[in-house]
Amino acid sequence: MAKILVTGGAGYIGSHIVNLLRSTEHEVVVYDDLSTGRRESVTFGRLVVGELEDIEKLEGLIQEERFDACFHFAGSIIVPESVENPLKYYNNNTQNTLDLINLCVENNINKFIFSSTAAVYGEPAGGVCTEETSTNPINPYGRTKLMTEWMLQDVAKAHKDFEYIALRYFNVAGASVDGRVGQCSPLSTHLIKLACEAALGKREELLIFGDDYETRDGTCIRDYIHTDDLARAHLDALDYLLGGGKSEVMNCGYGNGFTVKEVIDVVKRVSGVNFRVKVAPRRDGDPPVLMSKTEKISKKLRWKPKYNDLSVIVKTALDWEREL
Ligand code: UFG
């Protein structure tokens, strides 16, 4: 049994990990400012409402609870916003994370699991990434995440007891299969969420950002992964660290690619609604292909995805969106 601090545990990704932690023996405290997360998304453990930059509050909590591990999800995640307001991202994602890591080191929290992103690869040649693919983020969001990976790498080298796993998420989508948590953010730019909104009549049409890429149908290819499988990867990462595993950076995706048009077809089929779709110009900074190699996470964490099926991802996303 471990005592776990989950920053950002009321948000889209964090709430799925907390929801899965319900089925374990671990004890959970969520620390979240509820800026994008929701109180009712915390289905397990204690919720402490606080800002990540409120170091005193966080330190008080850490000293009171004596955590064994930290899952760190709190952060800003909207790529275009990071271009417009980079300092917000360097503050929320880099500065605040530095302070959090510092508190962990000072207070003997030696297992750290960090939500990183495939955005650290930027526009990789060929589009299929192993963990050795060179990192070259093309926006402040990706840079702030990569900077955190570097901090963790250096800290783990300097502090022999400190171990971390950074999971580089590919395109996370869907909602928990038990229907308890899902994506709520009204500012989401994610394809599957927006397509579900179109299918449910919450938006008039869906735009395809570019159909002149060099892919099988001209639209961008992504590796979509179900939230519950992503959540499982975090628990596997925790087990690995608790079992004496060493620090690692790992991709987290299925290794399957779908084009934007293929995703739209699945949403239309699963929903039974032929919503309006229009081709628009390319969106800045979209790599044509972004897919994961999955050998490392499968081997090291023995991670076994259960929902590697785009129809399931879409169905859970639709069911959730209908109830919102
Ligand atoms: N797309 C459309 N229309 C839309 C929305 C998206 O055509 O209305 C397209 C995009 O152009 C892209 C694909 O659908 O080709 C996927 O776009 P998303 O916005 O769903 O996801 P991204 O691949 O842009 O970004 C995601 C996460 C980021 C992360 C990135 C890299 O949102 O946080 O993957 O891992 F940085």
Q: How far away, in angstroms, is 226 Cα from ligand 1 center?
A: 15
Q: Within 6 Å (CB) of ligand 1, which residues are found?
A: 77, 79, 117-119, 170-171, 189-191, 194, 206-209, 220, 222, 260, 283, 286, 290
Is residue 290 within a helix (H) or strand (E), and if so which, with residue range? strand 289-292
Q: Which residues are known catalytic residues?
A: 141
- 3-173+224-252 and 191-223+255-292+299-323 agree in CATH topology: no
Q: Are 31 and 48 in contact (CB under 8 A)?
A: yes
Could you report the per-residue pLDDT of 194-241, keeping only the tens digit for each?
Answer: 999 999 999 999 999 999 999 999 999 999 999 999 999 999 999 999
Beta bridge partners of 48: 31
Average pLDDT over residues 130-134: 98
Q: What's the 191 CA to ligand 1 centre distance in angstroms? A: 6
User: DSSP for 66-135?
Assistant: --SEEEE--S---HHHHHH-HHHHIIIIIIHHHHHHHHHHHTT--EEEEEEEGGGG-S-TTSEE-TTSPP
| Residue 162: strand, helix, or coil | coil
Nearest to 221, CA basis, from 246, 195, 249, 256: 256
Token pair belonging to 20: 């899965």
- Relative to the CA of 219, which ligand 1 atom is closest? 15
Which CATH code of 3.40.50.720, 3.40.250.10, 3.60.15.10, 2.60.260.20 fits the domain covering 3-173+224-252?
A: 3.40.50.720
Count helices and strands in the chain by DSSP H and E runs: 11, 15
* 191-223+255-292+299-323 carries CATH number 3.30.930.10: no
* Mean pLDDT (whole number) for 40-58: 97
What are the backbone angles phi and psi of residue 94, rounded to the nearest 5°? Answer: -100, -60
Does the structure show a pLDDT above 90 at 129?
A: yes
Determine contact, residues 210/282, Cβ cutoff 8 Å: yes
Pocket test for ligand 1, best of 78, 133, 136, 171 (most atoms within 8 A of CB): 171
Place of tokens 């699991």: 113
Cα(244) to centroid of ligand 1, in Å?
A: 36
Average pLDDT estimate for 97-111: 98
- pLDDT for 238-278, tens place per residue? 999 999 999 999 999 999 999 999 999 999 999 999 999 99
| 42 CA → ligand 1 middle, Å | 26
What residue owns the CA closest to ligand 1's atom 4?
Answer: 191
What pLDDT was estimated at residue 186?
77
- Atom 19 (ligand 1): residue with closest C-alpha? 190
146-183: pLDDT as tens digits: 999 999 999 999 999 999 999 999 999 999 999 999 99
Burial 184-199 (b: 16+ CB within 10 A, else e): beeebebbbbbbbbbb
Q: Which two tokens stand for residue 219?
A: 């639209």
ipTM for the predicted complex comes to 0.96
**Does the structure show a pLDDT above 90 at 324?**
no
How large is the C-alpha radius of gyration of the chain? Answer: 19
Mutational pocket test of ligand 1: of 209, 214, 314, the residue with most ligand atoms within 8 Å of the beta carbon? 209
Whole-angstrom CA distances from 239 to 54, 90, 92, 226 are 30, 31, 28, 20
Distance from C-alpha of 134 to C-alpha of 121, rounded to nearest angstrom:
7
Residue range 268-280, pLDDT digits in tens: 999 999 999 999 9
User: Ligand 1 pocket check: which of 172, 225, 283 to mutate, most ligand atoms within 8 Å of Cβ?
Assistant: 283
Q: Copy the structure tokens of residue 14.
A: 């964090």
Per domain, the residue ranges of the chain are 3-173+224-252, 191-223+255-292+299-323
Q: Which helix H or strand E contains 172, and what residues bound it?
A: strand 171-173
Q: How far apart are CA 217 and CA 321, in angstroms?
A: 28
Q: Tell me, what's the pLDDT at 185? A: 81
The ligand 1 atom at the shortest distance from the C-alpha of residue 169 is 35
Q: What is the pLDDT of residue 285?
A: 82
